Structure 1
Amino acid sequence: GYPGPSSTGAPFAYGPLALLWYLPSTDPLVVEMGVSLLILLVLAIRGHLLGLAAYAASAVLLVTASDGSNDTSAGLFVLVALLAAQRSALAGGALLGLAVAFKPYALAWLPPLLVFWGPGAALLGFGAAALATWGPVLLIWGPASVLTSLRMAEAVHQRAYYSLAYGLSTDPALRGLLESLRLVAGGLLAAASWLVVRSPASMIVWGSAIFLVTLFTGYWSTFAYFAALAPVLCWHLDEWLALGEGRVRWPTDPVGRLSAWVDARWPIRGAVTGRSIIGR
C-alpha cells in the first residue's frame, strides 16, 4: 500500500515519477514546502506583483504547501512544461509527458498542445517521455495492475466532496452518472479546443478549463487540485492583464536581460493564423 491522504494502504493514484520524486527525502511535507517556496521565490524575482500576490496570499496554497499535498509539485511540473511548450513542440511535449507521469491529470493540457503545434513533434516528445516513465511500470506490474490501482483509488472516496455532486447534495446513487458526465464534459472541451486554440495563452487557458471541468464536475474532488493550476496562472496573470510593463526591475535588470537572451534563442511561438472563437 501507499501512505496517502485517504488511509495507509490506499491504492496508488499517481504516476510512476511520483515514486522517484520523493526519494531524496523521507518527508513529503518538506519536499512540498520546499517546492512552494521555490515557486514563490521565482515569482518574486520576476517582479510581476499581481501574480506573486495571488500565489503568496492564497489560503488554499498555504494549506497544500504545509500538508504535503503532491499537487504543489504537480504545479511545478505543469508550469515548466507549459513554459517550454510555448517555445518548442518537442520539449513541451516531453516535459508534459513527465508531468503526466507525476500526476495523470496533467493530461488535460495535451489536446491544446497538439492543436497549437500540430501532432508531430509535440506527440513525439510526449510519447517518448511516456514510454520512458510508464514503460518500465507496465512491464514490471502489467497494465491490468496499474489500471486496477487507478480504479480502486477512484472508489476509495465514499462521500462527495468539493465537486458538482457535493454542491448539489446529490444522491450517492448518481455517482456513476456524474463520473461519466465529467469525462464527457472534459472530452467535449478537448474537442472544442481544436476550433479555438491559436496562441500560447489560449493553449494554457483551454487546458486549464479541461482540467477544472474534468476534475470538479464529478462525484469527488479536492481543493488541493488548485495547487497544480496556480503556478502557471500566476506566472502569466500580469501579462494577460497587460500589467507586464509594470513589473519590479532589480538593479541592472538581470531578469529582463535573461528574458531577452532566452527570447532571442528560443522565441515564443506567435499566434497561429486562422479562425479563433475565443481570445488571442
Structure 2
Amino acid sequence: MKENVQIAITTLVISIVLLIHNGREPLFLFAFASIPIILFIAWKKSSLWPVALYILIVGVLGRYTQYFRQGYMSDVLPAIQDYIGYFLSGKNVYKEIIMVQNGPAPFNYLPFALLWYLPARLVFLDLRFMEMIVASFVPLMYFLYGKLKGTWQHLPIVAVLALSPFILDLSSDGSNDNSAVFLLLTALVLFMYAQARNKKMSAILSALVLTAFTMFKHYSAFFLIFFLPYLTKVKQFPIRIRSYVLVYGVACLLLVIFGVGASPDGFWRSLVYIERTNFHPVYGWNIWVALKDGWGITASRDIMWMVRTVGTALTIGGLLMLRPWRSFQTVCLASAISMLTYLVLSEWTTTAYFSFLLPMFALSLFSDGRT
C-alpha cells in the first residue's frame, strides 16, 4: 500500500510538470484541475487504476488536440505518400527520386514503411491523422507490458510517454517514429503474453509484428543485434524458439524480395544517402552542435561521419563483450545506449528519434521475472 502511494504521488507530480509545459490549452487546464479528484478517487479505492486511466486518456486527447494545432513540420510522411504513389503505379520505389526539404532524395526507409501507410493512402486518410492514432497507443502498449510483468513501478514512465510536450508534438508533425516504437512494443507485448499465457497464436503474431518493425526503419538494427541472441536464452515459450525465428526470418525475406529484389542497387543508393550524402545542417541534440556553439569548432562531414561510425561500432562491440543478451533488461539497455551513441555523434539529431529512444530506455526498467 505504501509503495502504491509513492508511485501515485510520483506519477502525478510528473504529470503536473508535463501538463504545465504543455501550455494553457483547455484540455490541459481541465486535466490539471482534475488531479485532486483523481488522487482522491485513487485514495478512496486504494487502487492505482484511476491514475493509470487518467494518464492514458489525457495522453490520447492531448494527441488528438495536437493534431489540429499543427501541420506538417517534417517531410517524412509526405515523402512516403509520394512513394506510395509510385508503388501503386507499379514502380519500384528504390529506383525513384523525389524532392524533399533538403533536396532530391531516394526512398530511405525499409519496405514495410510503404505497406504500413498504404491502407490510409487508399482511403484518402491524412497520414498525419493515422500517425496520431498510432501514437495514442504507444503509452498504452508500454503500460500493458508492465502489467504483464506484474508491476506498477512503470507508471511514472507511462506519464512521461503519455504527456511529454515534445512527444505530443511528434505524434502529428509528419514524422513516423511513433509507428516504429508502436510496432516494437506490440511485438514485445505479444511475446510476453505468449510466455505468460502459453498462447501459440500470440507467439506467431509476435514474430510477424517483429518482422514489421524490422522492415520499417533502419534503426531497428540497434535492438535486433542484441535481441536475436537473447532468443536463444528463452526457456519457456509456447512454440519452439527455432520456429519463432523461422517465421520471423521467412517473413523478413519475403519483404526483402518484395521491396528490394527488383532494385538492389537502388536500395544500396538509399543506404549510402542515409549515411553519407544526406546533407543536413549541423543541428539538434549532439556533440557537434555543442562544439560549434560552445567553442566555435566545426568539423568536416567526413570527420563527423568517421567519428560516428567508429564510436558506434566501438560502443556496440564493447556491449557485445558484456553479453547483454543474458537478460531482456540488459538487451533493452544495450540497445538504447548504442542508439544514443549514434545520435549524439550524428550531425543531425532531431527530437523525433527520441520518441523511439525513450521507450527503449524505459523497457530496461523491467527485470526478466515478474516483480
TM-score (norm 1): 0.71
CA distance, structure 2, for counterparts of residue 28 and residue 190 of structure 1? 37
Look up the match of 2:300.
172
Shift of 1:110: 1.5
Equivalent position of 1:134 in the other structure: 256
Query: In the alignment, which of 130, 137, 149 is matched to residue 31 of structure 1?
Result: 130
Pick one of 324, 328, 338 that aligns with 1:200: 328
1:71 maps to 2:177: yes
* Contact kept in structure 2, 1:94 and 1:128, CA below 8 Å: no
1:197 aligned counterpart, secondary structure: helix
2:316 counterpart letter in structure 1: G
Residues 196 and 202 of structure 1 are in contact (CA less than 8 Å); yes or no, is this contact kept in structure 2? yes
1:101 to 215, 226, 249: 215
Q: Give the Cα–Cα distance (whole angstroms) in 1 for the partners of residues 103 and 113 of structure 2.
A: 17
The CA distance in 1 between the partners of 2:272 and 2:181, in whole Å, is 23
Aligned to 2:326, what secondary structure does the other structure show? coil
For residues 226 and 189 of structure 1, the distance between their equivalents in structure 2, rounded to whole angstroms, comes to: 23
Tell me the percent identity.
28
Calculate the aligned-residue CA RMSD, in Å. 3.3
Letter in 2 for 1:53: A
Residue aligning to 1:12: 107
Equivalent runs, 1:1-280 vs 2, <5 Å: 3-4=78-79, 6-7=101-102, 9-26=104-121, 27-42=126-141, 49-85=155-191, 94-118=208-232, 121=242, 123-141=245-263, 143-154=264-275, 155-162=277-284, 163-169=286-292, 170-173=298-301, 174-193=303-322, 195-231=323-359, 233-234=361-362, 237=365
Equivalent residue pairs, number: 241
- Answer yes or no: is the 8 Å Cα contact 2:113–2:216 preserved in 1: yes
> Which amino acid in structure 2 is aligned with residue 111 of structure 1?
I
Question: Deviations 1:182-222 (Å, cap 9, x if unpaired)?
Answer: 442343245235x2332221222222222222333233222
Pair 1:189–1:106, CA change in 2 (3 A): farther
Contact in 2 for aligned 1:138/1:146 (Cα 8 Å): yes
Aligned residue for 1:139, secondary structure, equals coil
- CA deviation after TM superposition for structure 1 residue 232, in Å: 5.2
Unaligned runs of 5+ in 1: 241-268, 272-280
Residue 105 of structure 1 aligns with an amino acid whose one-letter code is: Y
Larger radius of gyration: 2
Higher relative contact order (CA 8 A, sep 6+): 1
Q: Is the 8 A contact 1:85 1:113 kept in 2?
A: no
Q: Which consecutive aligned stretches of 4+ in structure 1 deviate over 6 angstroms post-superposition?
A: 88-91
Query: Is the alpha carbon distance of 1:38 and 1:91 closer, same or farther for their aligned partners in structure 2, counting shifts above 3 Å?
Result: closer
TM-score in terms of structure 2 length? 0.56
Unaligned runs of 5+ in 2: 1-74, 80-99, 196-202, 234-240, 293-297
Q: Distance in 2 between matches of 1:233 and 1:179?
A: 21
Q: Decide whether the 8 Å contact of 2:287 with 2:344 is kept in 1.
A: yes
> For residues 125 and 112 of structure 1, do their structure 2 counterparts lie closer, same or farther at Cα, with a shift above 3 Å needed?
farther
Structure 1 residue identity aligned to 2:310: L
Classify the secondary structure of the residue corresponding to 1:10. Answer: strand
Shift of 1:233: 4.7
Shift in alpha-carbon separation, 1:158–1:69, aligned structure 2, 3 A: closer
Classify the secondary structure of the residue corresponding to 1:14.
coil
- Could you say which residue in structure 2 is the equivalent of 1:244? none
| Aligned counterparts of 1:226 and 1:127: Cα–Cα separation in 2 | 28
Q: Deviations over 1:15-66 (max 9, x none)?
A: 1111111122242211111111122455677675312211122122112112
